[in-house]
Amino acid sequence: MTTGVASACPQCGAPLRFGGAHSLAAACAHCRSAVLRSGAKLELAGKIPDLVATDTRLSLGAAGRVQGRPFVVLGRLQLSQGEAVWNEWYASFGDGGWGWLAEAQGRLYVTRPIAGAAGLPRWKALHAGMELDLPGAGRAVVDELNEAQLVSFEGEIPIPPDLGETWSYADCTTESGGFVTLDYGADEPVLYAGREVSYADAGIPDLAPAPTAGAEPARALACPGCGGPVALRRPDARAFACPSCHSLLDVSQGDLKVLGVVEARTVPPIPLGVLGTLRGEPLETLGFLVRSIEVDGERYPWHELLLHGPGGYRWLSVYGGHWLFLRPIPGAKVKETRGRSARCDGRTFKHFQGAAARYDEIQGEFYWAIRAGETVETDDYVAPPLLLSAERSEQEVSWSRGEDVMGEEIWKAFPLPGAPPRPVGVGPAQPNPHAARLGASWTGAGVALVGLLLLGLALSLRAPREEVLAMDVPLAQGQVTLSQPFDLLGGPQAVEITAEAAVSQAWVGLDVALIQDESGESEAAALELANFTGVEGGESWSEGSRQGSAVVGQVHYGRYLLRIEPQVERGRGFIPQTARVRVVRGVFLAAPMVLALLLAGLWPIAVTLRSVSFERRRWEESDHPWGGGGGSSDGDDE
């Protein structure tokens, strides 16, 4: 793994060791001289500035294992993007190769140079969010384009110690969770490929304990604006808003610089510095932002809290009492059709809103050089209860995935006194409570409808439908016909009276009455027999029916008579001499079954309507309101 070449510093004579076969330079730990190795010769290459205090779990000599290959840390670069400083640790691997271990925002990335990678894109051809097909890495998405400057180093490094030199790089992620850097420091770009690994998987001890109440701040300084205390919770903090004078400070270097004065009128919903455990993650609140977007000339503000825990940085976003818990994700995990949809982890997210989001108020500390009034392009995609959020600048596209969280859960997680504000309207990623019941309601209704239909079929088949009377009735105006008495067995039951006559271009009315012979209680009805046809405008028409019927309900057992009195108007049409009249007992009634089917279908219809209404209210707040209209909902949430 190492060559173990021991030497001495040409400046001070202190022991110096070139342990890595690929090491080109080393820093003298005694006099901070940079020593360049050229064959067997050692040359001084100037003084090295002190290292900037940063949050790291690695150290020189730290050993671990990545994908079965052991490594040992030989050196560290400190790189800067102007204000932000980060570490890249130089590691020598057991297979004779080397690589970088980079720490950023509490995460660890291991990359190794890909020798002979050809066809790499030119720097000027790249843009943030661009998809690339890289040799040895596959499909990758450019997350960040930036410049790095070597500001300091310690131990050994595999590159020339050109302090102050600036070069361009592109950080990319791959769909499979890989991490790729295209380094444009030399004439030809160099490809480094690897992946994010957990400290535990790399065999690196967890030196950073979970936040604990009352823990000492990582750095305690004084505000250059007011002299007030600047207690930074995180060593990698880049910006801090002084709670006393509201100066926004650049805290990335030892000397604090005032960048301006920021607004800080809003009280954070969770105080800064508070510890809690949300969704299994111990977290500490670090910063608070009021952000806003402008729609049709009106600004819509929302609040965001920056948190940190062992898993890195997290966000809590709240708008109208609706909370989202957001975690950063690699850009390559997202396949975006901008403004329409995005795919991530097998789910499709619909575009909800795109806007330029502005930082209006800043409180607490942040891991990047935040500026008040700065805007970034944002796009939100939803697949409740999840949300994907993209924030874009010219150099960077960062993605995060959020989950809808109830205010009560936030209050319990941190914990906070009282109760959370009641949500207003429908949140972008708020689960639709009706949608969850939709499938069950239709399935249940389907089972019920089938059951009722089968019951109806059984009753229909079981119905006796026995003809108890059939007679021909003379069709003469006012000539009353009285049937012979007939018996209706069984009951109570439905009895159907039907009449039929082959009328043509004519109408016949029949007043019928079913009379119980013993009591005289009767049920009377009017039947119509008619048939008219013609041609009008070249189209034939017809109306009327040659058959009429009426159903008498709840007819009890007994002896009955049927009285028929025709109403006949003889004219040009044809009216036969008689009509055929029948009485059938024990008929099946369709109305109760239809009513039962309608009532059984009400529940899924109601659930569907409520679900649609819920979604309509959700999308009212988006760029894609249903029906094309805008507006807002101010009703309380369900």
Positions in the binding site for another protein (CB under 8 A): 440-441, 444-445, 448, 451-452, 455-456, 459, 480, 482, 491-495, 506-507, 509, 511, 513-515, 520-526, 528, 530, 532, 550-555, 561, 563, 565, 567, 569, 586, 588-589, 591-593, 595-596, 599-600, 603
> How far, in Å, are 416, 518, 524 from residue 551 at the CA level?
69, 21, 10
Residue whose C-alpha is closest to residue 511's, from 554, 475, 535 = 475
| The two three-digit tokens of residue 288, written as one number | 């608070």
**What's 421's DSSP letter?**
P
The DSSP line for 249-280 is EE-SSSS-EEEEE-B--SPPSS-TT-EEEETT
Residue 68's CB is within 10 A of a number of other CB atoms, namely 7
Please say which residue, 528 or 623, places its beta carbon nearer to another protein: 528
Handedness of CA 257, 260, 261, 267 (dihedral sign): negative
Q: Is 59 within 8 Å of 49 (Cβ atoms)? A: no
The residue (of 414 and 588) whose beta carbon lies closer to another protein is: 588
Residue 563: CB minimum distance to another protein, A = 5
Q: Which is nearer to another protein, 283 or 452 (CB)?
A: 452
Backbone angles phi, psi at 281, to 5 degrees: -110, 125
- Going through 545-634 in order, the beta strands assigned E by DSSP cover 547-555, 558-568, 578-585
Residue 541 CB, nearest approach to another protein (Å):
15
CB 275 within 8 A of CB 284: yes
Residue 441 dihedral angles phi and psi, to the nearest 5°: -70, -40
Choose between 5 and 596: whose C-beta lies nearer to another protein: 596
Q: How near is the Cβ of 587 to another protein at its closest, in Å?
A: 8
Closest CA to 621 of 300, 212, 326: 300
- As measured in angstroms, the least distance from the Cβ of 337 to another protein is 38
The H or E element that residue 612 is part of is helix 590-620
Q: Measured from the CB of residue 551, what is the shortest distance to another protein in angstroms?
A: 5
User: Shortest Cβ distance from residue 131 to another protein (Å)?
Assistant: 46
Phi, psi for 445 (deg, rounded to 5): -65, -40
Q: What DSSP string describes 32-93?
A: -EEEEEETTEEEEEEE-PPPPP---S--TT-EEEETTEEEEEEEEEEEESSS-EEEEEEEEE
Q: Indicate the residue among 130 and 550 with the shorter CB distance to another protein.
A: 550
- Tokens representing residue 253 in the block: 């270097």
Nearer to another protein, 274 or 473 (CB): 473
To another protein, the closest distance from the beta carbon of 492 in angstroms equals 5
Q: Is 599 helix (H, G, I), strand (E, B) or coil?
A: helix
Of 316 and 568, CB closest to another protein = 568
In whole angstroms, the minimum distance from the beta carbon of 145 to another protein comes to 54
Report the 10 Å Cβ neighbour count for 255. Answer: 8
Q: Specify the residue for token string 């001070």.
A: 12
Helix (H, G, I), strand (E, B) or coil at 187: coil
Which of residues 172 and 568 has its CB atom nearest to another protein in the complex? 568
**Residue number with CB closer to another protein (220 or 457):** 457
Long-range contacts of 241-249 (CB under 8 A, 24+ apart): 241/287, 241/362, 241/363, 241/364, 241/365, 243/363, 247/223, 248/362, 248/370, 248/371, 248/372, 249/223, 249/224, 249/225
DSSP 8-state class, residue 576: -
Query: Is the CB of 294 or the CB of 569 nearer to another protein?
Result: 569
**CB-based burial label for 298 (10 Å; 0-12, 13-18, 19+):** exposed
The residue (of 353 and 531) whose beta carbon lies closer to another protein is: 531
Shortest Cβ 371–another protein spacing (Å): 54
Min dist CB 464 to another protein, Å, is 11
The minimum distance between CB 218 and another protein, in angstroms, equals 53
End-to-end Cα spacing for the chain: 63
Residue 295 or 482: which CB sits closer to another protein?
Answer: 482
Compute the least distance from the CB of residue 469 to another protein, in Å.
15
C-alpha closest to that of 484 among 566, 581, 602, 347? 581
Nearest approach, Cβ of 310 to another protein (angstroms)?
Answer: 41
CB of 486: closest distance to another protein in angstroms? 14
State the Cα angle at 314 between 202 and 169, rounded to 5°: 60
- Give the residue with the Cβ less far from another protein, 106 or 456: 456
- CB nearer to another protein: give 327 or 437: 437
Closest approach of Cβ 585 to another protein, in Å? 9
Task: Return the number of other C-beta atoms located less than 10 Å from residue 361's C-beta.
Answer: 20
Compare residues 212 and 554 and give the one whose CB is closer to another protein: 554
